[in-house]
Structure 1
């Protein structure tokens, strides 16, 4: 790790790609980040519970952590660091204190997905030897690129004459919406003047930059368990309370929730299971769902209607339902002032040939917790996109990034941070709050 990160963007990204870890299981990933950050040399490094309050986490798995701890130990992660991350308290925050100047936050996410990566000959990670080494798990959304950007930017700013404070949030559990809230509530989000979040691709090609997204959907993940009464399906079906039937009613009725006149709303039941045998009335059913809205208020409307729908369906069939909101995130839009600044910066970066001041997001992201926190405290935030030619969509077994975009992302972020330093404070437009 003596070689500068800027000179090994591709090898670093590929190394991270080979070892994806899902939400709250990023033990080896966090350890690798810690090693790199220590080699850079920062003024403060907080890991896991030192970076946030574990009680603020969402979507924390009840089990399945120990195999990931053991895998990290087998990869050489020392026991002291694993102990600090006990209970799945992964992720890190790195801080550079460089005198008077703006306080700037940069948020990058670090988790992978439960997807089996393709081993096809035309899939570059397989063909070039950096396919995921962990079965059923993959960096299928570009978080390996995001971590590379975070480390490279930290190194570049450390080596510059930057004046101010830079806080880099290496956030776990984005894919489950679980890690943004604790990061936003932490002391490291205090008094930030600016917050930069970033994503690779999202159907924008290499050489294109979106200076700030608009209209991310507020989102919640909901788990529902329906408890009924089992019975012999042939001899005494009338003695049972069919949890599977109740779940079927709930699913059908959920898709019938009236959409709202004030804006876009979404609901989906993505996973369902019930029953034990063909001749047994199912006594238990479980489903996992999500609700989204164009605004936080519209998401709350869908969430409340979904919960009511599930509980009503359960009662209709003599069952009872437990509905748990596993995680959620608000809507937060990019600030026009930062969009304008990023647009100007990106137009001057080599390799960038098209800059979009704004684009609708149409999906959800828990970086909005940090954006909302900074904006509420009087600062500015933007969520930018650095384009990459990806052969297939995000969250697919053949997703990959064009590695030319690695340098683009570093340059856009570093130059944006330096421009914020020079222009600080970036004034809000008159009349805006």
Structure 2
């Protein structure tokens, strides 16, 4: 790793792409990030439970689900001292550069992959160029491989500069399940940040376009429900059973009937439902995986409460009982206009950036909002940037890929934004009249 990160953006991103790991299973990924960080002159490097309180995590798999990923990382040669620091799936890391007086700036990038089988199509570049996922059923289908590359290269550039201040880089696990943002936000590393930058690649913005800050990310919660009934013979004595499958079907039907709200947009979806064993058996158990979203945190809470009530009521109606677990959730947090304006100015002067949008509606959910919310509540400014990339198909699809020209664009935008924040600090909030 003697060659500068900036000179190997493409191979580094491709290496991450080839070895994706899902939420809280990012053992090898974290180790690769840490080894890169160890080659930089950072002042503090916290891994796993040293970076956050494990009790604050959400949507954590059980030990049996974690075990094969841990063993896979060990077989790949990950150091035992690092695996010990990630016991129980405490993945992720935080790196701190402390250069004395100046602003305290946070940068958040995410590191997890998705449970998607990557395409082998002849026109899918990762397949033809030899960096398609080597992990069956798992893929970097949302660009987090690019995000990690940006985080490392940006930190390297600031280390090598005459930056004055404190830079904290969060390499956050479990974004896709909404499980990692909360513990990072509650950690000591998120305290007293003057500014926070979060970043995403693509999102239907082309190469050469930058969005200086998102607005209207949806507050979100993931719901896991189990319905318990009573088994019986479907032909001989169906009346002796309490049909969990029927209760599940009622719950799903009624979930989509939850009233919309006059205060704004809401969403509800049941993404997976399972029940039963055979055609002649009254199902005694059913499982539902669902989500609720809202234009505001309050609206998400409205849908979440009614979704939970709907599932439990459907179970009761059919003589069953339901256990509803809120697996994870994240709030809404908008980018601050003062920081968006600064990013817009900086991005306009970056080579290869042809178009800058001051803001754009996000329309999806992101648990970076936990970090944004904390920074804003403590008086700081936060913005969630998008660096465009030409991707052949949408995020979360088997043929997703990024235009690797955008790798340099992202690094330049982040580095120059950090240096400009240093020069302009403090960046004041506008008053109520926008002055």
| Fold agreement, TM-score > 0.5 | yes
Partner SS, residue 12 of structure 1: helix
In the alignment, structure 2 segments of 5+ residues that lack a partner are none
Matches within 5 A, 1:239-318: 239-318=240-319
Distance apart, 1:431 and its partner CA: 2.2
Residue correspondence of structure 1 range 395-406 to structure 2 within 5 A: 395-406=396-407
- In 2, the alpha carbon distance for the partners of 1:155 and 1:253 equals 52
Quote the residue 1:392 is aligned against. 393
Q: C-alpha deviations, 1:47-97, integer Å up to 9, x for none?
A: 000000000000001231110011101111111211110100000000000
Secondary structure of 1:87's match?
coil
Matching of residues 420-431 of structure 1 within 5 Å: 420-431=421-432
Q: Which residue of 2 aligns with 1:210?
A: 211
**2: CA distance, partners of 1:79 / 1:345:** 42
Match of 1:32 in 2: 32
Cα distance, 1:432 vs structure 2 = 7.5
**Residue correspondence of structure 1 range 216-255 to structure 2 within 5 A:** 216-255=217-256
Counterpart-to-counterpart distance in 2, 1:432 and 1:134: 53
* 2: CA distance, partners of 1:32 / 1:69: 14
> What is residue 358 of structure 1 aligned with on the other side?
359
Q: Give the match's secondary structure for 1:318.
A: coil
TM-score normalised by length of structure 2: 0.99
In structure 1, distance between residues paired with 2:53 and 2:141:
28
Task: Please give the secondary structure, in 2, of the residue aligned with 1:64.
Answer: helix
Instruction: Give the Cα separation in 1 of the matches to 2:291 and 2:394.
Output: 21
Rounded to whole Å, the distance in 2 between the matches of 1:147 and 1:40 is 15
Instruction: Name the CA distance, whole Å, in 1 between partners of 2:68 and 2:286.
Output: 27
1:242 and 1:88 map into 2 onto residues whose CA distance is 37
SS of 2:196's equivalent in the other structure is strand
5+ residue gaps in structure 1? none
Q: Deviations over 1:289-314 (max 9, x none)?
A: 00000000000000000000000000
- Output the CA distance in 2 between the equivalents of 1:76 and 1:154: 25
Q: Deviations over 1:192-229 (max 9, x none)?
A: 00000000000000000000000000000000000000
Mapped to 2, the partners of 1:102 and 1:117 lie a distance apart of: 42
What is aligned with 1:50? 50
> Following the alignment from structure 2 to structure 1, what is the Cα–Cα distance between the partners of residues 433 and 101?
27
Q: Hey, what does 1:198 align to over in structure 2?
A: 199
Structure 1 residue matching 2:39: 3-state secondary structure? helix
CA–CA separation in structure 2 for the residues paired with 1:165 and 1:184: 17
Q: Hey, which bits of structure 1, 4+ residues long, moved more than 6 A?
A: none
1:99-178 mapped onto 2 (5 Å cutoff) = 99-178=100-179
**What does the per-residue CA deviation read over 1:363-403, in whole Å, with 9 as the maximum and x for residues that have no partner?**
00000000000000000000000000000000000000000
Question: Structure 1, residues 105-147: CA drift from partner, whole Å, max 9, x if none?
Answer: 0000000000000011100000000000000000000000000
- Tell me the distance in 1 between the aligned counterparts of 2:41 and 2:356: 33
Over residues 266-318 of structure 1, what are the superposed CA-to-partner deviations in whole Å (9 max), with x where a residue is unaligned?
A: 00000000011111000000010000000000000000000000000000000
Aligned residue pairs: how many? 433
Q: Hey, what does 1:2 align to over in structure 2?
A: 2
Alignment partner of 2:383: what SS? strand
Counterpart Cα distance in 1 of 2:39 and 2:21: 23
More divergent stretch after superposition (60-69 vs 142-151): 60-69
Q: 1:65 aligns to what SS in structure 2?
A: helix
How far, CA to CA, are the matches of 2:326 and 2:405 in structure 1? 40
- 1:96/1:432 CA distance change after superposition, 3 Å: farther
Equivalences for 1:336-375 in 2 at 5 Å?
Answer: 336-375=337-376
Distance of 1:172 and 1:32 partners within structure 2: 14
